Structure 1
Amino acid sequence: MTAVLIPNDSEFGIDNLPYGVFSTAEAAERVGVRVGDSVVDLAAALGDTIFDTASLNPFMAQGRNRWIDVRRQITELIEADAVPANALHDLGTVNLHMPFEVADYVDFYASEHHARNLGRLFRPDSEPLMPNWKHLPVGYHGRAGTVVVSGTEIIRPSGQRKVPAQSVPDFGPSRRLDIEVEMGFVVGVGTPLGTRINPDQFAEHVFGAVIVNDWSARDIQAWEYVPLGPFLGKSFATSISPWVVPMLALEPARIDTPLQDPRPLPYLREQRSWALDIDIVVEWNGHEVSRPLYSAMYWSPAQMLAHITINGASSRTGDLFASGTVSGPEQEQRGSFIELTWDGTEPIAIGDDNRTFLQDGDEVVITVSAPGSTGRRIGFGEVRGRIVASKSS
């Protein structure tokens, strides 16, 4: 048996225990938990073959009581210095993979600050928020097959583009490639068609959370989105972090949403909110450019899930729903480059360059942390993506 070393400043202590899928030079993909700078092979540590697979889906589908029990078992092994030696791997020696199979993907628009900023940019002579915005969590269905794990290169998408001076659109690589800093939530236990999940059932269904970067081609999006909304400008890639932080670990981060006025309809009311106190840092080519404010999000993830299913839509193990761009009231809290540069009219300094949108070779890294139960912070790791040139024109 082996003791697991956890540095004093680690964001991956026993109050975190995020799940992921890893492989080594000697063995194929399987489920592990990160502890400090180590990965614990759960199949080897617990003797349970449900973890000897390349996806968290079978485990997530077992439900909350099972999630609690496995978390207890892992904690006891670590505290007793009883992790089998063959189950322990140095983080630097493993490869990380997609942690779960994405069943469906829904993206929301839950930050009032982001929605108001885009409303001012695109409708300067109108009210920034649409009439429905404060009555329901606005969202759209994305493309599950283009959700990729952190570190996957992002190929610049091509599509139709039209600037106001053009009478007809042209076709080519996006010139206004952007990010959207988001948090994503992963359904563990689904529901059959014709049923609903109320907000207070959230913890029975949602297994954990990940960091999301919803890459966005603003020029393609601007031409295509009327009247049905985002499509090709969004569906080419969405990056997620390799570690899924359990909602069980995020209990200490729960806070109230901002005042919701008007009061939401009954199906969106929570007895205790699942809004979260989460810190986010965005780096562009190694330079910090933003600290988006998740605590300012208007709609909570529990309200989002309730809205997804209120019409009787089924939910499935592996469903991913994202918060939409996280932005705060200050410029340095904006979670997209279209906001940070005010639609490209106010470039920001990236080293010696003044920049607006992403160029080929640029890399964006988003890191996230939250309060933990021991008084120190727990980490989500990072979501990282580098832009490469379009493969065709």
Structure 2
Amino acid sequence: MPSTQKNNFLLEKIVVQLNTKQLKINVYNTPLGERWLQALKDNLQKKRILEKNFCWLGWADSKRDLQYLTNELNTNIKQINSYNFSPNYQTIEMFSQDDFQYSGNLPIGKQGLGKHLKHDACNKLHRFFEDLQGTAWAPSKYYKQADSQTKYAIRQLNNICHEIESWVNADRKKAFEPEWMRPSQITTFLNAPRYKLQDIDYELFKENRFSRELGGVYLHWSQVGKTLYEVFRDENGPKMTEALCSEINHQIYYSGEFDIEWGQTITEQNSFKKLEMDGFRHWLDLNGYDWDDSKLALGYIKIGQVDMQSGFGNASFLEVYKAMKDNLNITNINVTGSQHCENNFPYSLDSDDWKKIQINYLKEGYESRSMR
């Protein structure tokens, strides 16, 4: 059964309460949809902490701009550098805004470098994270010995890297084609358990592929590493090397977490997307990968859809963006139906103690999983 089959939804619904808006989510009636919803309810029932500092990516008007994010990144790097690892880990140099984005004084547009993302700094930062974190199934020796503050700082290398990438791309798009900004909502919980995808689930990657629908709800990537698609895009279709291959992980896990696409719908009916996908398929073939191999997880599994009509009427993308940009804070998530469950998320990033809340909760997870 396709993950995107219209109007074939589970009876239970998800309601996400923002500052002044409410989002209603319908979940597709698939075996994975049922298991995923149970995992989400477990996160709510266990009152796991929502990771609010990694929730809203690609919002050009966010207070978490490049200056803010670079300062946050360097604060976490200082924490990592101060820890006495055994064996020693290299000293990570501080980053500047110029490391991540070309000047806005350069020509801005499809052919210009102005405001473009500098991928090299992001790739370098992500490699530091992978060295220090390890994988979901094999944490690194550095991560195992780190104290809770340093574990938290390591986690932020990845979070902030992706947030910088998204913000820079949005800032550039806003300057010359704002209708193609790609804002999203990443709804993750600290210490959320992961579960293995079942064989039947992998066909869902092929059903949706890389289409993204405004208000679409997608399975969250809950492991460390890059997908083949990310390597293709970030490295401009590189020749595969041993180093690049070591970065790649095909998705094998799911969790009770989800992403919402708040950008304009993109499918291969858009000529630029079709061109990109044709290039990606050709690159896969050149490097010995089979586009039809479902275990390569080539795509995004669409698990549900925001009821856009009830939330926004017939609003255009830019109208939706305007309504959402002042609502970037989740206060409650509840599941209605045969078994009602919910959780409130009262803290915000304006709270003085939001980092302490996260570190203390993550510490419980580290200790319960014998990570030290």
TM (norm. structure 2) is: 0.26
TM (norm. structure 1) is: 0.25
Greater strand percent: which structure? 1
Higher RCO (CA < 8 A, seq sep 6+)? 2
